Structure 1
Amino acid sequence: MNTESHIFFNKSTIRWGVIGCGDVTEKKSVPAYQMTEGFEVTMVMRRNSEKAKDYAKRHNVPFWTSDAGEVIENPDIDAVYIATPPDTHKFYALHVAAAGKPCCIEKPMAPNYQDSLAIYEAFKTRNLPLFIAYYRRSLPRFQKIKEWLDDNLIGEVRHIQWEKTKPPSAMDLNGDYNWRTDKTIAPGGYFDDLASHGLDLFTFLLGNIKEVNGIALNQQGLYTAYDAITGSWLHEGGITGKGNWNFGTYHRVDKVEIFGSDGKISFAILDDAPIELENSSGHQVLDVPHPEHIQEQHVQNIKNHLLGKAVHPSTGDSGLHTSWVMDKILNTI
Structure 2
Amino acid sequence: MSVQDSEIRWGILGGGKVVESKSGPCFNIPGRSRVAAVCRRDAENASATAERLGANLVLNQLEDMVESDEVQAVYIATPPGLHHSQAMVCLNARKPVYIEKPFTTSAAQAEELVRNFAEVGIPLFVAHYRRALPKFREIKSLIETQIGQPLEFSFRLKRRLQNDVAHPWMYDRELSGGGKFFDIAPHCVDLLLFLFGDVDQMSAEAKHWKAPQGSEDCVTLNFRFKSGVLGTANFNFLAWDKEDRMSVHGEKGILEFSVHGNEPSTLRLPDGKVRQFFHTVPELIEGPMIEEVVAFLRGEEGKPCMGQDAVPVIELIESAARSLH
Q: What TM-score comes out, normalization by structure 1 length?
A: 0.92
Q: Secondary structure at the match of 1:27?
A: helix
Give the AA of the match of 2:309: S
Partner of 1:120: 114
Q: Per-residue deviation at 1:213?
A: 0.7
Aligned 8 A contact 1:188 1:227 in 2? no
Question: What is the CA–CA distance in structure 2 between the aligned matches of 1:66 and 1:256, rounded to whole Å?
Answer: 42
| Structure-2 separation of matches of 1:245 and 1:57 | 38
Q: Could you tell me whether the CA contact under 8 Å between 2:160 and 2:240 is conserved in 1?
A: yes
- Conserved? CA contact 1:22–1:84, under 8 Å: no
Please tell me whether the aligned partners of residues 182 and 224 of structure 1 are also in contact (alpha carbons under 8 angstroms): no
Residues 1:129 and 2:129 aligned together? no
Say whether the 8 Å CA contact 2:135–2:279 is kept in structure 1: yes
Q: Which amino acid in structure 2 is aligned with residue 279 of structure 1?
A: L
Closer/same/farther in 2, CA of residues 113 and 53 from structure 1, 3 Å limit: same
Which of 117, 139, 145 is residue 139 of structure 2 equivalent to?
Answer: 145
Moved over 6 A (4+): none
What is aligned with 1:4?
Answer: none
**Which residue does 1:244 correspond to in 2?**
234
1:314 aligns with 2:325: no
CA deviation map 1:210-262 (0-9, x unaligned): 21111122111544322211110111111112111111111111111111111
For each residue in 1:71-119, what CA deviation from the matched residue of structure 2 results, as whole angstroms up to 9, or x when unmatched?
Answer: 1121221111101110000011111112112110001110111111111
Cα shift at 1:37: 3.8
Quick one: which of 147, 150, 160 aligns to 1:154? Answer: 147
**Which of the pair is proportionally richer in helix?**
2
Unaligned runs of 5+ in 1: 1-6
Give the structure 2 partner of residue 287 of structure 1. Answer: 278
Task: Give the match's secondary structure for 2:143.
Answer: helix
Taking the aligned partners of 1:324 and 1:195, their CA distance within structure 2 comes to 12
Partner SS state of residue 175, structure 2: coil
Shift of 1:36: 5.3
**CA deviation map 1:113-144 (0-9, x unaligned):** 11111111111111111110011010001010
Aligned CA RMSD, in angstroms, stands at 1.8
Residue in structure 1 matching 2:67, options 48, 73, 79: 73
Are positions 1:9 and 2:3 aligned together?
yes
Unaligned runs of 5+ in 2: none
Once residues 313 and 75 of structure 1 are traced to their aligned partners in structure 2, the CA distance between those partners, rounded to angstroms, is 25
Aligned residue for 2:100? 106
1:177, distance to aligned residue in structure 2 (A): 5.8
CA distance in 1, matches of 2:260, 2:223: 21
The residue number in structure 2 matching 1:276 is: 266
Say which SS state the counterpart of residue 244 (structure 1) adopts.
strand
> Contact conserved, 1:36 with 1:299, CA < 8 A, in 2?
no
Aligned equivalents of 2:156, 2:279: Cα separation in 1: 21
Q: Which secondary structure state, in structure 2, belongs to the residue aligned with residue 28 of structure 1?
A: helix
* Alignment partner, residue 3 of structure 1: none
Q: Distance in 2 between matches of 1:227 and 1:101?
A: 38
Overall identity of the aligned pairs, in %: 27
Secondary structure of the residue aligned to 1:213 is: strand
Query: Within 5 Å, which residues of 2 pair with 1:1-333?
Result: 8-35=2-29, 37-151=31-145, 153-169=146-162, 171=163, 178-280=168-270, 282-331=273-322
**Equivalent AA in structure 1 for residue 98 of structure 2:** C
Q: Is the 8 A contact 1:229 1:330 kept in 2?
A: no
Give the deviation of 1:311 after TM superposition.
4.3
Deviation at 1:24, TM superposition (A): 0.8
How many angstroms does 1:196 deviate by? 0.8
**Matched positions, count:** 323
Can you list the C-alpha shifts for 1:1-25, whole angstroms capped at 9, x where unaligned? xxxxxx6334321111010112111
TM-score normalized with structure 2 length: 0.94
1:107 is paired with a residue of what secondary structure? coil
Aligned equivalents of 1:141, 1:112: Cα separation in 2 = 29
